[in-house]
């Protein structure tokens, strides 16, 4: 029996159930879902105020106490520092983009000045404000159903992650998929983290059956950028990596974009880089991820050189409109 730890929210149960079903299919083992309540559950306090790890810590504690064998997280919720005794594997990644759900089927271009758009993410707020369209960004919390329920009531629209909507079957309500050129996603958005005890036989089983080395490498690059910037999951930092087979045998191509912004939209520093990385196939997944992470660190250094550190230190209430660099 493999015990899979999960939060009790609708989205978490859908994600963890998907992983549990896949593990059962691939291994032939019996799999049980075990619900764990986390600090972030049952509160309406904005995530930015709760801090990093509020959806993670209790799951990890249950893993360490051997009450569960696997913990399933939304990867973007994980702190960037990884405990040495735990290991994370990454299943194939879902759509990383953000989406808009707006009343009357509208898109961003249909919404005029003063339109009220709900999001609790400083990253999304910064990029919406950077459009200069005069939107009013309204901080919101709650599950997906609660957020969507406010559209057409006190909000004109909400911005959410495409992956979450698809996992709970509400993708038909999406009125616009937001191009990453407009709304660069959060690091690791759309990816799940399947976490195991490193010394446990389960980790080898999951690694061989479930891990997607390209998804793992992409997430490693994005999170390394975030870690080098010393920013948490609630900081106005965005990153997206694309990893694909390279033109030459034994190589993969990595394209990484990163952005840091002031929450009022005044400054959005955007940079990108490409790299050809040696790839040893499935046996070299960890090494490929390490090489991708080095690319993320390098791009973070470039962002720091153009002022990212100053942006991240600013109090959100004091950020002023300036300019956008590409």
Burial of 1 (0-12, 13-18, 19+ CB in 10 A): exposed
d(Cα 141, Cα 147) in Å, to the nearest integer? Answer: 7
Strand, coil or helix: what is 174? coil
The phi, psi pair for 153, rounded to 5°, reads -100, -90
Nearest residue to 206 (alpha-carbon basis) of 195, 216, 222, 190 = 195
Nearest residue to 75 (alpha-carbon basis) of 203, 173, 205, 211 = 211
Could you tell me whether strands 237-245 and 251-261 are parallel, antiparallel, or unpaired per DSSP bridges? antiparallel
Reported as type and span, the H/E element at residue 296 is helix 285-305
Nearest residue to 89 (alpha-carbon basis) of 192, 178, 184 = 192
Only one residue has tokens 């993410």, namely 121
d(Cα 229, Cα 237) in Å, to the nearest integer? Answer: 9
CA distances to 47, 73, 172, 181, 204 from 326, in Å: 29, 32, 33, 10, 42
Is the Cβ–Cβ distance between 250 and 230 less than 8 Å? Answer: no
| Token duo for residue 61 | 């504690």
- Catalytic residue annotation: 77
The phi, psi pair for 207, rounded to 5°, reads -60, -45
Only one residue has tokens 């999960």, namely 6
């Amino acid at each position: 029996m493999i015990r899979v730890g999960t939060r009790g929210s609708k989205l978490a149960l859908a994600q963890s159930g998907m992983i549990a079903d896949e593990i059962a299919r691939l291994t032939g083992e019996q799999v049980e879902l075990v619900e764990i309540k986390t600090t972030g559950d049952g509160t309406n306090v904005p995530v930015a105020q709760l801090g990093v790890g509020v959806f993670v810590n209790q799951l990890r504690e249950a893993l360490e106490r051997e009450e569960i064998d696997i913990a399933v997280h939304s990867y973007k919720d994980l702190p960037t520092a990884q405990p040495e005794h735990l290991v994370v594997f990454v299943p194939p990644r879902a759509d990383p983009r953000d989406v808009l759900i707006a009343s009357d089927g509208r898109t961003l271009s249909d919404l005029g000045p003063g339109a009220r758009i709900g999001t609790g993410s400083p990253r999304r707020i910064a990029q919406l404000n950077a459009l200069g369209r005069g939107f009013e960004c309204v901080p919101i919390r709650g599950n997906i159903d609660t957020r969507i329920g406010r559209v057409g009531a006190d909000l004109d629209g909400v911005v959410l992650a495409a992956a979450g909507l698809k996992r709970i079957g509400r993708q038909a309500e999406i009125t616009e998929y937001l191009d990453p050129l407009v709304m660069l996603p959060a690091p690791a958005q759309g990816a799940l983290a399947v976490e195991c005890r490193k010394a446990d036989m389960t980790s080898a089983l999951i690694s061989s059956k479930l891990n997607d080395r390209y998804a793992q490498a992409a997430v490693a690059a994005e999170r390394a950028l975030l870690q080098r910037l010393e920013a948490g999951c609630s900081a106005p930092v965005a990153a997206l990596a694309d990893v694909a087979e390279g033109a030459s045998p034994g190589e993969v191509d990595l394209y990484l974009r990163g952005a840091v912004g002031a929450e009022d939209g005044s400054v959005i520093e955007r940079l990108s880089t490409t790299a050809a990385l040696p790839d040893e196939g499935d046996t070299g997944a960890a090494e490929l991820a390490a090489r991708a992470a080095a690319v993320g660190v390098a791009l973070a250094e470039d962002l720091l050189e153009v002022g990212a550190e100053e942006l991240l230190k600013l109090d959100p209430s004091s950020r002023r409109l300036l300019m956008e660099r590409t």
